[in-house]
Amino acid sequence: MTSAAVLILAACSQSPDEVILTGTNPIITGQFTADPTARVFEGKIYMYPSHDIPSVITHHDGSAWFSMPDYHVFSSEDLTSWTDHGVILRQEDVPWGKPDAYAMWAPDCVQKDGKYYFYFPDATAAGWGFGIGVAVSDKPAGPFVPQEKPIQGVAGIDPCVLVDDDGKAYIYWSGMGLRGCRLADNMLELEGDQVRLDEPLPEGFKEGPFAFKRNGRYYLTYPWVRKDTEALAYAMSDNPLGPFEYKGIIMKESPTGCWTNHHSLVEYKGEWYLFYHHNDYSPHFDKNRSARIDRVCFNYDGTIQEVVPTLRGVGSVKATSIVHLDRYSSIDGARIEYVDTADYFKGWKTVFAKAGDNVSFNELDFGRKSPKDITLCVKAPEGGRIALTAGNTAEFNIPSCEEWIEITCRMPFKVKNMHNIKVRLVSDTEIEIDWITFK
Ligand code: FUB
């Protein structure tokens, strides 16, 4: 197929943009989003994740395996409302790729001289393992046109590209170790020798390098298997191609069993964020993952403070939206469970079982007008009583209900602007809350 034909195909096949509103973790609902690379283009955050689907591929040991047929791109101005711009590249569209390999693993996208270069791994049709391809666009959300061939001289996965302040670009990938190389000015070819970057680092590098520059120092961050699963670690250097010196851990291994973690760091509106993934919507199969965001802080010497994963995430949440208390900032006694274990995308509920159980949800934005009502989506077989604190505290009766119902109560006090709220069970009867909202 010619490049022009691919361009038309890609343009026609983009579905209308869909807006997803969360502000909490995971950030995208209704589909899996793994390996999130975040970039700032045109004043917005663009997230280029890979796209897990329920497994259609088996590994050589017969187990269900990563199945990744295409890429979507998402953008946001506030890290709460995400626009899904649809599919930007499919496995069938890659001229050199195996069209049914479901091997479109972790990508990256950078901008240079007004063009957007999307770097992605794929299994080669020629059968020599993974190659890394480039698809080019005039816009961050595509349409992207893949090159006829993968980057020559690269065998591996998980490309990351750093465009330095002087315009020179470097590519990093995982293939027989962690490798780096200068990219030619056309962004499509290697220039110069490949360098092994993992050799001075503690053993256990596997995949997923992400490089960036801050205050003149180069950071090489990577998933690190120091024990059984992936933590996120980092090293620093004064040069883009090292040598890099190991500095520490950015995020510990997941305690709940997602083997992989894959990440990127980005500065947006003066704050730094870590994008990473976890199998939130797929508790029994860790190859269906979802993107998350948490804040990152640097020390004065440029070292990175460890990030503790949160469910609250980083987005500003409006009190008038559907507020999921199960994405809490802190919890005491209450339990979080899936609403429907037959459909994990329905999300979670908070279960308050005994008097005193409570959850807090930080930075809920009530805006300038105090709400008149609170609506709760609840299930409470014996009924009960809860207390809401948002500046003031008030108690509400919950009627007995075996199934989910929405109840609306008058707000007995005024509340405006940003508040940390707390919901506490007053009665000793079990109450489940799916969500609350204020009107
Ligand atoms: O998503 C497939 C692979 O899993 C990625 O390429 C790795 O970094 C790991 O997240």
Say if 303 falls within a structural domain. Answer: no
* 150 lies in the same domain as 10: no
* 147 lies in the same domain as 262: yes
Q: How far apart are CA 23 and CA 20, in angstroms?
A: 10
**Interval between CA 359 and ligand 1 midpoint (Å):** 34
The parent domain of residue 402 ranges over: 2-16+316-438
Say if 24 falls within a structural domain. Answer: no
| Phi, psi for 417 (deg, rounded to 5) | 65, -155
- For residue 406, the one-letter residue type is E
| Closest ligand 1 atom to Cα of 208 | 8
Domain of residue 44, CATH code:
2.115.10.20
| Closest ligand 1 atom to Cα of 206 | 8
pLDDT at 410 (0 to 100): 97
The DSSP line for 304-370 is: BPPPPP-SS-S--EETTS-B-GGG-SEEEB-EEEES-TT-GGG-EEEEE-STT-EEEEEEEE--SS-
* 283 lies in the same domain as 421: no
**Interval between CA 159 and ligand 1 midpoint (Å):** 11
* 366 lies in the same domain as 268: no
| Closest ligand 1 atom to Cα of 50 | 1
What is the tally of structural domains in the chain? 2
Q: How far apart are CA 190 and CA 169, in angstroms?
A: 10
Contact 143, 108 (CB under 8 A): no
Say if 307 falls within a structural domain. Answer: no
**pTM listed for this prediction:** 0.95
Catalytic residue among 93, 108, 158, 207: 207
pLDDT at 15 (0 to 100): 55
Contact 265, 274 (CB under 8 A): yes
Domain endpoint, select from 238, 264, 296: 296
What is the separation of C-alpha 123 from the centre of its chain, rounded to a whole number of angstroms? 24
**Interval between CA 128 and ligand 1 midpoint (Å):** 19
Say if 82 falls within a structural domain. Answer: yes
Domain endpoint, select from 262, 296, 330: 296
Ligand 1 site: residues with CB under 6 angstroms?
Answer: 34-35, 50, 66, 105-106, 157-158, 207-208, 260, 262
Reading the chain (439 residues) residue by residue, the pLDDT tens digits are: 333 333 333 433 445 688 998 999 999 999 999 999 999 999 999 999 999 999 999 999 999 999 999 999 999 999 999 999 999 999 999 999 999 999 999 999 999 999 999 999 999 999 999 999 999 999 999 999 999 999 999 999 999 999 999 999 999 999 999 999 999 999 999 999 999 999 999 999 999 999 999 999 999 999 999 999 999 999 999 999 999 999 999 999 999 889 999 999 999 999 999 999 999 999 999 999 999 999 999 999 999 999 999 999 999 999 999 999 999 999 999 999 999 999 999 999 999 999 999 999 999 999 999 999 999 999 999 999 999 999 999 999 999 999 999 999 999 999 999 999 999 999 999 999 999 999 9
Contact 435, 325 (CB under 8 A): yes
Say if 305 falls within a structural domain. Answer: no
Say if 113 falls within a structural domain. Answer: yes
* 365 lies in the same domain as 419: yes
Which of 207, 278, 285, 287 should be mutated for ligand 1, with most atoms under 8 A from CB?
207
Angle at CA 18, nearest 5°, toward 265 and 25?
40
Contact 285, 231 (CB under 8 A): no
Measured between alpha carbons, how far is residue 38 from residues 75, 262, 385, 416 in Å?
Answer: 9, 12, 43, 33
**Interval between CA 12 and ligand 1 midpoint (Å):** 29
* 8 lies in the same domain as 112: no
Among 153, 275, 300, CA closest to 212: 275
* 288 lies in the same domain as 334: no
Contact 397, 368 (CB under 8 A): no
Say if 302 falls within a structural domain. Answer: no
* 266 lies in the same domain as 328: no
- Residue 199 DSSP one-character state: T
| Catalytic residue status for 207 | yes
HSE (side-chain half, CA atoms, 13 Å) at 160: 31
| Catalytic residue status for 138 | no
Say if 133 falls within a structural domain. Answer: yes
* 194 lies in the same domain as 336: no
* 39 lies in the same domain as 12: no
* 326 lies in the same domain as 414: yes
Neighbours of 372 (CB within 10 A): 11
* 245 lies in the same domain as 331: no
Domain of residue 414, CATH code:
2.60.120.260
